[in-house]
Amino acid sequence: MKLFVPALFLLFLATMASPQTTSRNLRERPKTEECGISGMVVKLLGSEPLKTATVQLQSLQDLAHTISVLTDVGGRFELKGIDPGRYRLKVSRTGFVTQEYGQKTANDPGAEIRLLPGQNLHGVLFRLIPWGVIAGRVLDEEGEPLPWAQVSALREVYFNGKRKLSPEVVVPTNDLGEYRLFGLKPGRYFVSAKYRPGLHIVGRGEVREDEGDNSRPEFMPIFYPSSPDPARASTITLKAGEEVPAVEILLRPVTTFEVRGRVYNLVAGRRSNTGVIVQLEQRNSNVAWGSPDHQSIVENPDGSFEIAGVLPGSYTLSALWFDEGRRYQARQSIEVGNANVENANLTITPGITVPGRIVWDGKASMDRDELLVSIAPTDSRISFYGPARVLGSSFVLKDVFDGTYRLGVLGQSKDCYVKSLRYGSSDALQGSFTVLRGIPASLEVTISSRGARVQGAVTDKDNLPVTGVWVVLVPDEAHRDQSRLYQKAATDQYGRYLLRGIAPGDYKIFAWEEVQDGAWEDPDFVTTFEDRGQKISVQEADAKTMDIVAIRTKSPE
């Protein structure tokens, strides 16, 4: 048996290993300045008190600092001795959907809590929604139960302005072909199942390959009830606490193909081609993010590899090798039709170094101790590029390969915006730049610390404050393809919002009572509400106030 743990899963483990509750040395504060929060946690239906629910308060000024308490038998909780500041408050309990303060539905952003010196927030009430369950069986073409099939509950999300599917829960079937997808919040789900011989899902992001388990053919991924195309699938609408049983999926065997080739590692001093990671990723996938479709490690000294169980489609084949802190890579596009792909050879080479510098327009303004620059390929869901630290005003991106990339900057204050981005002689402010071997170029990123601010309050049609909803600044129609120009903020416990670091330009400002995160980058969605947005224009360092009436929307679920 072989055990593979993808890099993304290792990152997940590192995150989960972090302590949930931390303490810190605080300066002495007068008792009169200490704050408190108290309230009650009940079930949504019947308002029955919930004991042993975990109530967690997280500081937004020091994300490592959290305070947790459990509710008593009456569902009550009390947090004492809190510093004034900005916080997030959430409640979790087995059997219920985790809920943040200010959320009206499970998809809302929640509201920030701002505590003034000596303030006590009483009467906070959480009505927890019981989680839902989708259960059923997976059968083969003979009607026999299929153990170790991988079953997923997926939801539609917005990713770069397009609807994509995001797995919420993934479980294997048992020996009777049964599955149980639990922990689901209310909403609309796609359910899919697939089966690959010898592939056993043993944990989140972790798989085990059993080479002795090859008694069945591979089965095509099928969306409930019986379509390989999610556009033709039926969705399941799940209400709070509802269990939908007997969702059966019939998997059909499918002819799959093999991709064979060799990896040539020509790095100086390298005598073996083993240890190279070869992965196959489907292009134009309908999934927002995730691991490669196929991944293996070259074990033969001659560098030969074979990837089995590949469905017809368009793929990116890549080889990765890490040595002494450096990354080596090769990539090519391949098409898998109705035959095996032979001689898919890859020659690993080192990437190039892309130097860069940060230019401040105005006084340098930082939220962190250091500034980081990162890149991510535009044609892949997976990135192995770590951030580069800015030293002085310079940074170096190492081992960059041919391709088109998005650039991100982390660490600047919220009043900053990227004013210009140039790669060589090209203006890359539209959002991406292309690296080509043999054409040396450097990056120049100009950051302005004089971004505009817009603040105000959001009310409903009855002039009551609306908490925990998105307020969004959408650029004018000519610039809606530039993600960097969109701004969003959630209203706090008083219905107030603050948008910072806005680039000069013309915008419309929207607030919806309920909206999916990122929906506003979908032109079809915005067009529906175009006449409901309020126009606003800003220049550098502007500070404007605009109150908004939230647009009443009905959940698509």
Q: What is the pLDDT of residues 152-164, one digit of tens each?
A: 999 999 987 888 8
* Nearby residues of 545 by Cβ (< 8 Å), 6 or more positions away: 454, 455, 456
Rounded Cα distance between 192 and 290, Å, is 15
Could you tell me the residue ranges of all domains in the chain? 7-128, 132-250, 257-350, 352-448, 452-549
Which one, of 336, 255, 261, lies nearest residue 306 by Cα?
261
CATH number for region 352-448: 2.60.40.10
Q: Where are the alpha helices (DSSP H) in 308-435?
A: none
Residue 280: helix, strand or coil by DSSP? strand
pLDDT beyond 90 at 22? no
Alpha-carbon distances, residue 483 vs 169, 475, 503, 507 (angstroms): 29, 9, 12, 13
pLDDT digits (tens, 9 = 90+) for 450-481: 999 999 999 999 999 999 999 999 999 999 98
Pair 112, 87: CB distance under 8 Å: yes
Query: Residue 201 — pLDDT band, cuts 50, 70, 90?
Result: low
Higher pLDDT, 13 or 176: 176
Same CATH topology for 7-128 and 452-549?
A: yes
pLDDT of residue 415: 96
pLDDT digits (tens, 9 = 90+) for 90-100: 999 999 999 99
pLDDT of residue 196: 80
pLDDT digits (tens, 9 = 90+) for 257-282: 999 999 998 776 665 677 899 999 88
Q: Any idea what DSSP says for residue 201?
A: E
**Burial class, 153, CB count within 10 angstroms (exposed 0-12 / middle 13-18 / buried 19+):** buried
Query: Residue 237 — pLDDT band, cuts 50, 70, 90?
Result: very high
Q: Global pTM?
A: 0.82
Show the tokens assigned to 204: 């989140």
Rounded Cα distance between 311 and 218, Å, is 10
Is CATH 3.40.710.10 what the domain over 132-250 is classified as, yes or no? Answer: no
pLDDT beyond 80 at 392? yes
CATH number for region 7-128: 2.60.40.10
pLDDT of residue 214: 57
Higher pLDDT, 327 or 137: 137
The phi, psi pair for 479, rounded to 5°, reads -125, 20
Query: Residue 13 — pLDDT band, cuts 50, 70, 90?
Result: very low
pLDDT digits (tens, 9 = 90+) for 352-368: 999 999 999 999 999 88
Its CATH class, for the domain covering 257-350, is mainly beta
* Nearby residues of 249 by Cβ (< 8 Å), 6 or more positions away: 136, 137, 138, 139, 151, 191, 192, 193, 222, 224, 225, 226
Question: Most confidently modeled of 191-200, 212-221, 310-319?
Answer: 310-319
User: What does pLDDT average to over the chain?
Assistant: 87
Of 127-131, 211-215, 251-255, which range is least confident? 211-215
Higher pLDDT, 9 or 117: 117
Rounded Cα distance between 26 and 70, Å, is 23
pLDDT digits (tens, 9 = 90+) for 538-547: 999 999 999 9
Its CATH class, for the domain covering 452-549, is mainly beta
Residue the block writes with tokens 């539209």? 430
Residue 414: helix, strand or coil by DSSP? coil
* Nearby residues of 125 by Cβ (< 8 Å), 6 or more positions away: 39, 40, 42
pLDDT beyond 80 at 285? no
Average pLDDT over residues 479-501: 94
Rounded Cα distance between 542 and 430, Å, is 23
